[in-house]
Amino acid sequence: MERLQIIQGDITKCQTDAIVNAANTSLLGGGGVDGAIHRAAGSELLAECRTLGGCPTGEAKATKAYRLPCRYVIHTPGPIWRGGKAEEDRLLACSYRNSLAQASALGCKTVAFPSISTGVYHFPLHRAARIAIDTILEYLQAHHEIACVTMVCFDSVTLSAYQQALAETEQKHA
């Protein structure tokens, strides 16, 4: 489906209406993509995040984007992988769905996602990619206000996993 793009790149460079941040429940910054987003946005982003009072796993909260080229940053803490029996799958799907719901509510037409939870949170990559792709496609089918979602994969291994997940889903529905 052309409304879902998968690319390799740096999400801090995306000029989409919103970018999603793979945050932690404090929303006060960290390493990985979270660190990169805060560095590129400048210290005002952290100041706004401090007013939000954190965010539960699987939910999402939006801020302005400050020096980033997008309009909004939607922060969602994905689940930490604990072996698969701690509702990780459901919580990861919630992160994608609730981030898209925030984007819709803000009037965003284009949204970019990083690969939530597959870095220091250690969610198995292929499993995460299937959940992300299925959840995004389901949302796009039901919500035509979002024109395009871009999955921004930082490295080629992540890119291949998301491309494979999309191909598998397309085969299933062919």
Instruction: Tell me the closest approach of the beta carbon of residue 136 to ligand AR6, in angstroms.
Output: 16
Task: State the residue for tokens 């990169």.
Answer: 36
Instruction: Tell me the closest approach of the beta carbon of residue 164 to ligand AR6, in angstroms.
Output: 15
- Out of 96, 121, 139, 162, point to the residue binding ligand AR6 (CB under 6 A): 121
Q: Is 87 in the site for ligand AR6 (CB under 6 A)?
A: no
Structure tokens at 133: 């792709």
Instruction: Tell me the closest approach of the beta carbon of residue 100 to ligand AR6, in angstroms.
Output: 17
Q: Is 158 in the site for ligand AR6 (CB under 6 A)?
A: yes
Task: State the residue for tokens 């609730």.
Answer: 98
Catalytic status, residue 34: yes
The single residue of 10, 17, 34, 155 carrying the catalytic annotation is 34
Stretch of residues binding ligand AR6 (CB under 6 A), selected from 48-56, 64-72, 109-117, 131-139: 109-117
Binding mask 26-65 for ligand AR6 (x = CB under 6 A): ----xxxxx-x-----------------------------
DSSP string covering 86-151, please? SSHHHHHHHHHHHHHHHHHHTT-SEEEE--TTSSTT---HHHHHHHHHHHHHHHHHH-TT--EEEE
Cα 56 from Cα 50, distance rounded (Å): 15
Instruction: Tell me the closest approach of the beta carbon of residue 24 to ligand AR6, in angstroms.
Output: 3
Residue 152, SS3?
strand
Cα 37 from Cα 56, distance rounded (Å): 20
**Is the Cβ of residue 23 or residue 146 nearer to ligand AR6 in the bound state?**
23
**Is the Cβ of residue 47 or residue 141 nearer to ligand AR6 in the bound state?**
47
Burial grade of 118 (CB within 10 A; 0-12, 13-18, 19 or more): buried
- Which residues are designated catalytic? 34
